[in-house]
Structure 1
Amino acid sequence: MTDSLQTTEAGEAREPETVYLGRQPILDRAGALHAYELLFRDSPDNHARVQDDVQATAHVVARAVGEIGLSAVLGDYRGYVNMNRALLFDDIVHIMPPERFVLELLETITFDAALYRRCAQLREAGFEFALDDVVRLDDAILETLPYVDTVKVDFLGADQAQLPELARVLKQHGKALLAEKIETHEHFVRARDLGFDYFQGYFFARPQVLATRRPSASRIALLRLLSLLADEPAMGTLEAELKRNPEIVVQLLRLANSSAFGLSRHVSSLRDAIAAIGTRQITRWTQLLLYADGRGLPWRSDPLVQLVGTRARFMELAAHVLRPSDEAFADAAFMTGIFSLVHVVVDMPPAEILAQLNLSEEIRAAIGSGRGALGALLGMSQAADRGDLLVIDPGISDAAFARLTPAALARLHVEAATWFAAHRLE
């Protein structure tokens, strides 16, 4: 992929200047625009070079929601996004506003009871599903139909003699039909005559590549600042580092002057801001800036920042319930929540970026494989994000977890959301 963190001749990491996203229109029976399918692109060339399905979809979502913006990418329409099995259980789902996205189930997915439960949860949250690349009916597809809203039929791949029966049965099940790979006017007319509702293919339009310049603020600078803050720097050292990053200074001054800190006077100098906020809070908001950096959205409307901020605070509050006098554990819980989504905004595999951040083994184990007390708290926070019934993992041996009843966890989640709303930057 060309949209990865790159290295200059001097060996310094830098971000690419431009990001790309493909979209292809989906039309209705009258030929009017109905939706777009969003596609991974890593260059101006209109070709997909996908090496990792999860990373590709992460890029599509991050670019659509943040870097380019939903208004520019989708306008008032919905976006269809490819999802494999791992992605359906991944945190990236929670970044997508359900009223703006249709989740496409790839033909390679293995369907089972766990996946059907997950689809049902996401449909209750407001998502719609499309079953992709259908060419024939079989028992597996018929079993899946109750969980999807739209069926995308590969018009070229399907047996032409069987298409009428295929369309008839799908319509009997109440599904919207989308004919993909429509390449000629004759294809369109036949699909329309067979009762298809929506149409997609080269006959209408090839995918369009959208591009935007990356902002000047660098996430590398934020990572460097976080590394410095981990060593409890002296005031002068911290001030000097912040002066190298004016975009960060602006955000921190806004924070210091916000009502959240209840100061009797507005601070006007960087040193005053550092003293007013304190290094602990600077660390936390720098972590959140890592997600907000360059996304061009007010914090109140940025779903990624809302998700990660609320998750981190939820984990911190739950950690205080488990170990009331252990501030280090609470801080580790907050950091686990923050960095559980860092791979979405930094173009690296999760394991690689976690290693570069020099996080403790306990935090890395929690994020990478859900191990330990922090891993259990992360799992609870992810369940809260989904709106699941919060049930403690019976494999957890720590008796203190019995205090985290579903009712207690629901209360903590509300408190976490309230905390984020009170501390957001205007």
Structure 2
Amino acid sequence: MAQSSSEHRISRRALLRGTAVGAGAVALPALLTACGGPSDEVKVGSNASDAVPRKAFAEVFDAYEKKSDKKLKVNTVNHESFQENINRYLKGTPDDVFMWFAGYRMQFFAKQGLLAEISDLWKGFEGFSDALKQQSTGEDGKQYLVPYYYYPWAVFYRKSVFQQHGYEIPKTFDEYRALAKRMDKDGLDAIAFGDKDGWPAMGTFDYLNMRANGYDFHISLMGGKESWTDPKVKQVFDLWRGLMPYHQKGANGRTWQEAAQSLAKKKSGMAVFGLPHPGQQFPEADRDDLDFFPFPEIDSAYGQDAVEAPIDGFLLSKKSKRQKQGKELLKYLATPAAEEIYLKRDPNNIAVNEGASTSSYNTLQKKAVELIANAKQISQFMDRDTRPDFASQVMIRAIQQFINSPNDIDSLTKSIESQKKTIFTSD
């Protein structure tokens, strides 16, 4: 989901290019390579290349070495490069343990036989909910992932801006739209918006769909089981079209960092983001002024039941010759202590283990925990809940096309459906 401006940056466009390789796309030339070392030295593939997470993970790994008297060799690769080359990395000479994502992102590689099953470890795990176990389970019903942290998506804002103008937190979509219109009249960009990387706007679609049609329909749609020409889907785009006049113009040429910075500079009023994204762009002195509210209700039948909360964690490579040693590291990473060490250095994520102390949590972290605790369903984000090739080859382009031209919904949904049928029947 930090102190530096690029902290915890996830380039999903790059991520999707990488995962699409396994679905028939052309492999990229660069290739991640594992570092050499003693035969009993566990090698860890890390995408935590930014300063804050890199230091936080370094402290976690140091603690493990001291506790176990075992050696780790951490192979830290630029975050975007890691995502871009993940397919070739896993099919080549991968590290023993590596960082990756829950849900479909994990299942994609488990289905290819590239991940080691860790169901035996899960039998001894404590503090993980059934929902977390489900997100760590492959299509074969076996567990492959050790979840480490998550970060919910919501609507972020500055408390001082709301106080200055007398704005109230909207509970319904009508109130949300009325607030956006009022902000526009007050000279603000009501909704900060940047989709240059192709993935940020997916969060808005997900919430609109879950609020209008419910979690089950959304997940079924992501799974290729619903038609994109269904009136329910067209309604989602129509609702979004009604909001588009209050979004920052030129979103396809703006990064998510720039959108978050406009929120920090009080040039915009709200933004749909994951917890780490605005926090990375706010100066330390202004951090307490950042707040969020759940995406508003559209249909009372679904209320605000569903929350978007991507989960990151660790996997064991099937090719690893150090399965026993790798599992020992994973057992440690599943403990509350391991998460507590990390989160003391990175305050923009939430521990997944129920036994982890929240004493060091800031106000936003505590509020995020409450948001998740009250959720009836948890989604992983569009590009994690659907096929990677569908997300990268179809939905990135479709949503950017919608942003540029939001009035031709019929043609847009017809095109998406046609491409969906081709992709979901290609296996």
Question: Considering the TM-score relative to the shorter chain, is it more than 0.5?
Answer: no
Q: Which has the higher contact order (CA 8 A, sep 6+)?
A: 2
Task: Return the index of the structure with the highest Cα Rg.
Answer: 1
TM-score of the superposition, structure 1-length normalised?
0.28
